[in-house]
Chains A and B, each alone.
Chain A
Amino acid sequence: METIVLPHLPDHHLHVCLFVKVHNAQFLRQQLLDGNVDFEYAFLDAAVLLSRQHVLAACFRAINDMLQDRLKSKNVHSEIVFSLSPNNNISDSFRRFGVSEITTEILAVKVGNDQMQVEEHLRKHVEGQAVPFTDEILTSIRNEARIQRAYRVETSSDQADAFIIGSMALKGS
């Protein structure tokens, strides 16, 4: 579990935890579908994440849109999932970047709240192994083909990250 403070957003701490070998994704997804308020997280499918920078760019956009009162989805957590998408289709973004029933690598992001509480809650409910949120580990678990499909690029994700992050930032323009 790591707490990240984005340089210009000191009041919106990000509590981030990367899990591998998760085997209760179905349960986690159900909590989101039920709107269980104890599960206000962005649960991201880590196989479609490029890098820490990729994730943080989505978080910045979601928090900024919240501050400007123009969230397109329910709350800042669903907005982080939506922010990863290069297009405006919300349910499509959940399908591509959110947790599904068979997801085994999950990045959980919580905006705000107490770190201890978040960590305890996640460890209790996510059945999987917590690993450090590093570029190396993200690289090792990512699915090139899915990333290429999601962002419509035809090359390795490392060369495409500027284009991918730029496309996310331009979404909705």
Chain B
Amino acid sequence: MTEPTSLSLSACSHLPIPFNTSPEPLELIAQGAESLLYKTTFLFPSQPAALKIRPVKKWRHPTLDKRLTRARILAEARVLVKLSGEGIAVGGGGRKVKDPKKGNGVVGGMRGLVPAVLGLDWEGGWLVTEWIEGGTVKEAIYRVSRARTMGGSGVGLSGDAVVEELRGLLRKMGEVVGKLHACGVVHGDLTTSNMMLRPFGTASPQSSKPEGHDEASAQLSTGPAPDVDQPKSTSRSQTSLEGDIVLIDFGLATQSVSDEDRAVDLYVLERAFGSTHPREEELFACVLDAYAHGEGSGMNGKAGKTVIRKLEDVRMRGRKKSMLG
């Protein structure tokens, strides 16, 4: 007799306490190699939350498995909390990372651009964060990519307008990565599915917002609110790339200000972007340009240019490696 191997079934019965006995709906959103991501609630029945669990790996030695689970849950939570305290925590919530860009208009820059931690249990292997509305950047790009196809046949936007929108989105990606790096953190797994595009005005009122993007200013600046019912095929695609980019999935993040680490972070994103969005690959230069020159970047100026130069080396090494292997 063989055991049933349906992953999602066995996963449900292995939810940690107290979620294993919960009457509350838990909607499986994503199943990664190491973790399961559920949409559920946490402190209020009306407030959606993201529950990430790292199920026990039966094939790993139990002590080692526990240690790894604990380390990754804590690594992610610590970085998220550190970033949510940028610019407001006395003493920076621990060791202060030395960085010349700090105090240059982007202090506290990541606050509100990462999900708030609501609860965790490193022994139980779970982490609950605020739910980010709007879907991933990957989905958003796929969506406008379809509109771009339709543009040629007279439906929706012209191809040029879509490309302009995409450029804007990519610039925002570069700026947010620049902000993150300026906070002394490298993400470790930058992809378009680890970036959410949160429409303006949908940030949870309980969570802190980045300066200058409170509800009021967002509504003034963005035309139709995202929740206004509009015929989807036309106006939806015009506003669909507006919003803040929120970074998620910090399980591999580390504190670092090294140019090399920063360049590798960008390289990982470049490679992931190229394979996920081959049609948009040529636009990736916008990300790098905004990283090194964008007003909201935090890495604009000399530091950013050094990282971009380093990126060239990292690419070279990558190419050599792929020629060898």
Using Cβ atoms and an 8 Å threshold, which residues of chain A touch B45? 7
B315 interface contact, C-beta 8 A: no
Cross-chain contact B208 with A153 (CB below 8 angstroms): no
Top 10 closest A-B pairs, CB basis?
A166-B81, A162-B116, A163-B85, A166-B117, A162-B84, A8-B22, A152-B90, A7-B41, A56-B43, A7-B24
A64 interface contact, C-beta 8 A: yes
0/1 string, B8-35, CB within 8 A of A gives 1: 0000000001110011100000000000
The contact sample of 8 A-B pairs, CB cut-off 8 A, is A6-B42, A8-B40, A64-B119, A154-B88, A154-B89, A162-B117, A163-B88, A173-B74
Cross-chain contact A166 with B84 (CB below 8 angstroms): yes
CA distance A7 to B24 in the complex (A): 6
Given A8-B18, A68-B124, A159-B111, do A170 and B81 touch, yes or no (CB 8 Å)? yes
Q: What class of interface size applies to chain A in its complex with B?
A: 20 to 34
Using Cβ atoms and an 8 Å threshold, which residues of chain B touch A63? 18
Cross-chain contact A51 with B206 (CB below 8 angstroms): yes
CA distance A56 to B22 in the complex (A): 17
Query: A residues near B, CB below 8 A?
Result: 6-10, 51-53, 56-57, 60-61, 63-64, 67-68, 70, 152-155, 158-163, 165-167, 169-170, 173
Given A153-B90, A163-B85, do A170 and B77 touch, yes or no (CB 8 Å)? yes
Using Cβ atoms and an 8 Å threshold, which residues of chain A touch B19? 8
B59 interface contact, C-beta 8 A: no
Using Cβ atoms and an 8 Å threshold, which residues of chain A touch B112? 162
Using Cβ atoms and an 8 Å threshold, which residues of chain A touch B44? 7, 52-53, 56
Q: Which residue of B lies closest to A163 (CB)?
A: B85
B121 interface contact, C-beta 8 A: yes
B163 interface contact, C-beta 8 A: no
Using Cβ atoms and an 8 Å threshold, which residues of chain B touch A155? 87-88
B267 interface contact, C-beta 8 A: no
Using Cβ atoms and an 8 Å threshold, which residues of chain A touch B121? 64, 68
Using Cβ atoms and an 8 Å threshold, which residues of chain A touch B18? 8-9, 63-64, 67
Shortest beta-carbon distance from B198 to chain A in Å: 15
Which of A7, A9, A173 has the most CB atoms of chain B within a 10 A radius of its CB?
A: A7
Q: Which residue of B lies closest to A60 (CB)?
A: B119
B120 interface contact, C-beta 8 A: yes
B312 interface contact, C-beta 8 A: no
B123 interface contact, C-beta 8 A: yes
Cross-chain contact A7 with B119 (CB below 8 angstroms): no
Using Cβ atoms and an 8 Å threshold, which residues of chain B touch A165? 116-118
CA distance A161 to B81 in the complex (A): 11
